[in-house]
Structure 1
């Protein structure tokens, strides 16, 4: 409340800055305030009508009655108690609102921290006018540069679109007008770029809102461009790491365990490897390692243990390759084509002379070398009970002779095989020469294994009776010829092998008997036969007789066959 000291002159009071002087309030009791102490002079100072210039709001208005229009310095009054004139133009006038601004926007209440209870809070998906975002609390709900980054797509630098008007259905309280500070930043950015054309000409900075620059968009584009190369580079690095681990692991394992080293592949070149009789898998592996066929013994032995045929590797010379894997070397050793051998099969009943000729033909060994070797029984390992006679000790079987084997090696292998067979039949050494001699005759005379036991019985019966054996096979052996017949001259040979002239057994075997003949001598058939003859050499038919007359009938059958087969 203010006090009055004169008509229309205020001495105090709290008027809002920049507003016109407010007239004094009058009472309805004769214009004098009760208790004021003033004398009523009868002035008619009732309520006055506000003049039109009050609505101008400022003395800067062109129609304001200032500047001495009324001759009183612009402050003339038509009534002594009229309203006070406006205050002089000052700072407060310039801070007043713009004439075209209209009414101020309604104030929006912004919570300081968090959300108001009962209203959408910080856990809602989208912020609202009642739930400001994190930066609103510090900016007073002003527009913040970058606040719309997540809401608008990145724009090309230097190009800005005109601000879109707020939707009609959005309440006025939710629209936050752009502030001068934000506009200043936008004008500063716009100065660096060319003007943007709008539908009606170039747009001004105030008409082109600028989305703040988002460096994440450029980084994402560069990242997308680099992504294929980064993936390829990562794959190459990963492959190198894996290869390094594998290669390094192999090297480390080889250092820690030298026996685990192994070559890769089937190897190159050629090398001859000899597997000796009685070699174990470890012995063979060591031979291969020494010749650089395999890198170490471990892989070969491991592969051999897993292969069921590995224990059947035969002695001999094998053509292998250098620097093979352990598994490849094993497979080649099991291949018969890799073995360098001369395989010879000696049938039963061949004489020493016939065996030497066969060896020379099949192995390429000179016959003279073989004959010299046969004349050295000690070098061949011939037993003492043989009396230096090789006949009967070249056991009939199949032999594999390797490159480099000598004549002595070949003949010695046959003698060793014969001793192996003799030992298996458990014949005492003191009886072996007689036993082998009988078996050689049975082998030469019998046409088949089924007749050997009968022939053995005839020999036993004639020897027990003291009769000469009279065997053509012994006569032919003495004469160095073959066949099943003899002549008178042949039978006249005084050789101890001529059983027509000498009774009993010859001094040694006449052939190299097989196991069947040896067994037949040990177990002759039961019978009283004294004679036998092969009546049909083509079929091997043999007839046995107890008497000489019966035997002559069988001889006539044989002679008939000879006439039918003059070439014998």
Structure 2
């Protein structure tokens, strides 16, 4: 087809095109698009749904919207749950969910709304039940008797029980640990006895129990029933009821070793001229011989008597063996031979005689300046009077008795 101007001369255009495409004689095949199989699309949809569902679940949990699983009723079987330091309500809910106490963390957190006591829950162990409703779990965990495993050891407490002059028994460390480590779970009293703990202490290597490395070689030389004395520090512990005697004792001894380390041991003893274990012994003697305000002065008397090779003559060491505390001991008891009789023996006792406080331990490393060689309890509140000479000491004793100090 042509026109007068040659604008639509198709034959010419075709010839020119052929001049350029003469190298491609075969017609081109159109590219076929790869089609996805139905399986691919099914998988893709499922993945997107899972991601979307997970995101939505996370949002609902964070914002507190939507439904959640919850059990009905007050629970089934007893279970011990630990609340750790720093855990908030959501963390506690997660811990309860892990133990199957509640069906979901949200069941607990939702029931906690408006309940101020939940925010006051302290770290420790709580006796709960499995499959509790969120409300039942909240009511239980804030109940006064829910918390178990609380152990408090006071400074001056020794391993064995003490019979007071009036006949009352003051529990020793073994009894205290046993009581804290025992609970009634599903109707059965579960936990080690004081005697079982005592046997572990006597038969197990102290290093295996977690005692400080600086103390083990010296303590292991003592008679088995005394060697753990002083290696359990005063303080508050949380122990899990139901543990074996060895696991329970190991927990307490390791925590005590950490406490001693925090107090600066063994470095604390470096400039005293005594080993860290000897300083621990000295701290226990100071603890049992007076009250805190006199600790540094009692420490000075202790140092002076050791330096001058004078027998310590401490009634606390006589009481330690007899498990009967008295301010003044009888002559017959003082005459009884034994490694803890400081009326007959020179130097320190083989082991500490009680749990030592930080204040007493520090006093054992930093005695007050003074010339004192004697002291006696001279006030009803436990205050001691100190003397440089025997005559001064005898006068302090007369005045103490006149005041009814003992």
Question: TM class by shorter-chain length?
Answer: 0.5 to 0.7
- Between the aligned partners of 1:428 and 1:360, the Cα distance in structure 2 is 29
Contact residue 126 and residue 141 of structure 2 kept, 8 A: no
The yes-or-no answer on 1:316 pairing with 2:145 is no
- Between the aligned partners of 2:338 and 2:127, the Cα distance in structure 1 is 48
Contact residue 229 and residue 351 of structure 2 kept, 8 A: yes
The yes-or-no answer on 1:368 pairing with 2:177 is no
CA, structure 1 residues 295+265, in 2 after alignment: closer, same or farther (shift >3 Å)?
closer
Contact residue 393 and residue 414 of structure 1 kept, 8 A: no
CA, structure 1 residues 360+278, in 2 after alignment: closer, same or farther (shift >3 Å)?
closer
Contact residue 319 and residue 339 of structure 1 kept, 8 A: yes
The yes-or-no answer on 1:341 pairing with 2:168 is no
Contact residue 81 and residue 127 of structure 2 kept, 8 A: yes
Which residue of the other structure, out of 365, 369, 380, is the alignment partner of 2:209?
380
Listed one character per residue, the Cα deviations across residues 59-79 of structure 1 (whole Å, up to 9, x for unaligned) are: xxxxxxxxxxxxxxxxxxxxx
Which residue of the other structure, out of 458, 463, 486, is the alignment partner of 2:301?
458
Structure 1 stretches of at least 4 aligned residues deviating more than 6 Å after TM superposition:
252-255, 301-309
> SS at 2:377's partner residue?
strand
Which residue of the other structure, out of 439, 444, 448, is the alignment partner of 2:288?
444
The yes-or-no answer on 1:557 pairing with 2:386 is no
Contact residue 281 and residue 348 of structure 2 kept, 8 A: yes
Aligned-pair CA distance for 1:452: 1.1
Q: Give me the TM-score of the superposition, normalised by structure 1.
A: 0.47
CA, structure 1 residues 292+426, in 2 after alignment: closer, same or farther (shift >3 Å)?
closer
Aligned-pair CA distance for 1:479: 4.4
CA, structure 1 residues 455+311, in 2 after alignment: closer, same or farther (shift >3 Å)?
same
> SS at 1:398's partner residue?
strand
The yes-or-no answer on 1:262 pairing with 2:91 is no
Which residue of the other structure, out of 249, 262, 266, is the alignment partner of 1:424?
262
CA, structure 1 residues 311+305, in 2 after alignment: closer, same or farther (shift >3 Å)?
farther
- Between the aligned partners of 1:303 and 1:413, the Cα distance in structure 2 is 34
- Between the aligned partners of 1:497 and 1:554, the Cα distance in structure 2 is 26
- Between the aligned partners of 2:258 and 2:113, the Cα distance in structure 1 is 30
Contact residue 97 and residue 105 of structure 2 kept, 8 A: yes
The yes-or-no answer on 1:289 pairing with 2:97 is yes
CA, structure 1 residues 268+549, in 2 after alignment: closer, same or farther (shift >3 Å)?
closer
Structure 1 unaligned regions, length at least 5: 1-251
Aligned-pair CA distance for 1:320: 4.4
> SS at 1:352's partner residue?
coil
The yes-or-no answer on 1:274 pairing with 2:120 is no
Q: Counterpart in 2 of 1:520? A: 363
The yes-or-no answer on 1:543 pairing with 2:385 is yes
Aligned-pair CA distance for 1:349: 0.8
Structure 2 unaligned regions, length at least 5: 1-51, 62-66, 162-171, 183-188, 221-226, 270-274
> SS at 1:520's partner residue?
helix
CA, structure 1 residues 314+437, in 2 after alignment: closer, same or farther (shift >3 Å)?
same
> SS at 1:257's partner residue?
helix
- Between the aligned partners of 2:387 and 2:94, the Cα distance in structure 1 is 64
- Between the aligned partners of 2:362 and 2:137, the Cα distance in structure 1 is 40
Aligned-pair CA distance for 1:442: 0.5
Q: Counterpart in 2 of 1:76? A: none
Listed one character per residue, the Cα deviations across residues 153-199 of structure 1 (whole Å, up to 9, x for unaligned) are: xxxxxxxxxxxxxxxxxxxxxxxxxxxxxxxxxxxxxxxxxxxxxxx
Which residue of the other structure, out of 390, 394, 397, is the alignment partner of 2:228?
390
1:46-445 aligned within 5 A: 257=57, 260=61, 262-263=68-69, 267-271=73-77, 272-275=79-82, 284-297=92-105, 313-320=122-129, 322=131, 324-325=133-134, 328=135, 331-332=138-139, 335-337=142-144, 339-354=146-161, 355=172, 356-360=174-178, 363=182, 365-375=192-202, 376=204, 377-384=206-213, 385-386=215-216, 387-388=219-220, 389-428=227-266, 431-445=275-289
Q: Counterpart in 1 of 2:372? A: 529
- Between the aligned partners of 1:296 and 1:477, the Cα distance in structure 2 is 53
Contact residue 492 and residue 501 of structure 1 kept, 8 A: yes
Listed one character per residue, the Cα deviations across residues 334-370 of structure 1 (whole Å, up to 9, x for unaligned) are: 5143624153432211211122244456757433212
- Between the aligned partners of 1:333 and 1:432, the Cα distance in structure 2 is 46
The yes-or-no answer on 1:510 pairing with 2:319 is no
Aligned-pair CA distance for 1:294: 3.6
Contact residue 262 and residue 294 of structure 1 kept, 8 A: no
> SS at 1:322's partner residue?
coil
Contact residue 84 and residue 124 of structure 2 kept, 8 A: yes
> SS at 2:287's partner residue?
helix
- Between the aligned partners of 2:113 and 2:378, the Cα distance in structure 1 is 57
Between Structure 1 and Structure 2, which shows a larger proportion of helix residues? Answer: 2
Larger Rg: 1
Residues matched between the structures, number: 309
Contact residue 296 and residue 366 of structure 2 kept, 8 A: yes
CA, structure 1 residues 319+302, in 2 after alignment: closer, same or farther (shift >3 Å)?
closer
Q: Give me the TM-score of the superposition, normalised by structure 2.
A: 0.63
- Between the aligned partners of 2:175 and 2:257, the Cα distance in structure 1 is 23
Aligned-pair CA distance for 1:550: 0.5
Bigger relative CO (Cα 8 Å, ≥ 6 apart): 2
